[in-house]
A = this chain, B = another copy of it.
Amino acid sequence: MAGSSFGNIFQITTWGESHGAALGVVVDGCPAGLSLSADDIQPYLNRRKPGQTKIATPRKEADEVEILSGLFEGKTTGTPISMLVRNTSQHSADYSEIASYYRPGHADYTFDAKFGFRDYRGGGRSSGRETIGRVAAGAIASKLLSEFGISLTAYTKSIGPISIDMAHFDKSAITETPTCMPDREASAHAERYLADCMKEYDSVGGVIECVIDGVFAGLGDPVFEKLDANLAKAIMSIGAVKAVEIGDGIDVAKHRGSKNNDPFRMENGQVTKSTNHAGGILGGISDGSQIVLRAYIKPTPSIFSPQQTVNKSGEDIEISIKGRHDPIIVPRAVVVVESMAALTLLDALLANAGAKLENLKKIYGV
């Protein structure tokens, strides 16, 4: 079912496995006339690269992007943009043992159930490396959105029991701390917590928050293509995400209507809301307030302590996973969440062009 494509108008198709020759993405439906080069993409890819901090796997990957099509004289042409990253640091030999059993918390068993067999090297298609294509495409989406004054900021909100304090919010810390927390104190705390995790051969989960500023009211759709519905799919399609919230999220279930409704107010001649429990979306359509969403991410399933599982011969066994694995998925997934949100919002912005006859008349000058 074309399960590797995302988006209706700005449509991306990702491909590639952890230990194949390369990974990449084809971006179709990008409007012509956007200035673009690899320099716009690489910084986003660098944000998800391994081997950069103590809390991430020391496995080094260059992850250098090559743009193969869709640009001419420094601008997008309106035709597909194909981008590719070569795999350089793969050691398939490491994975021979994994071939014979099903790692708990991984997709080994479900891939076999679906496809009859699997590329067991590094998780194959279910590896975190699959997100390279999403991030490269997300970089383009973010650049396009910035042409309309829209910007996205994702960051780590919590790691295990340690949460950021919004009063300490420091945007620069997102890219400067190994945790991607916008609170240097909380980040230092979380780093110590993760060091303990690693000593205990264990891993931990966390929360990523993404806010979107500058969105004008009217993007999204009333029924199945609701902006929040598509954001939920986008975020939940990232491996390891187990819950998605918009605005006040799960808390609304305990709210009274009198508290949860955001009053509209005029401000500088514009309709605004004096609170934002809704997280910027009403009835599936952006309301002009900041869009706020959160992704809840499970702990890295590859842990070094012994685990019970079964092998392909149908026997109960105990295993100990080897290799180098991050004790937490969250920091490297921050840019993935941001990318998926950007792709979703851009697609809604493009789809909105045909929402009313008046829009089309502006384009065609009638």
Contact = CB atoms under 8 A, between A and B. Distances in A.
A77 B356 CA distance: 9
Copies in the complex: 4
Contacts of A226: 236-237
A109 B271 contact: yes
Given A77-B118, A299-B256, A105 B271 contact: no
A182 interface: no
Given A15-B80, A252-B243, A353-B360, A300 B257 contact: yes
Interface in A212-253: 216-226, 228-237, 239, 242-253
Interface stretch (A31-39, A44-52, A172-180, A183-191): A31-39
A264 B104 contact: yes
A114 B284 CA distance: 11
A283 interface: yes
Contact of A218 (B5, B7, B110, B235): B110
A280 to B, nearest CB: 10
A275 B271 CA distance: 50
Contact of A255 (B81, B205, B235): B205
A287 B110 CA distance: 6
A298 interface: yes
A359 B355 contact: no
A210 B182 CA distance: 36
Interface in A253-276: 253-258, 260-266, 269, 271, 274
A43 interface: no
Interface string A20-46: 111110101101111000000000000
Nearest first, the 4 A-B pairs at minimum CB distance are: A107-B283, A203-B257, A113-B218, A110-B285
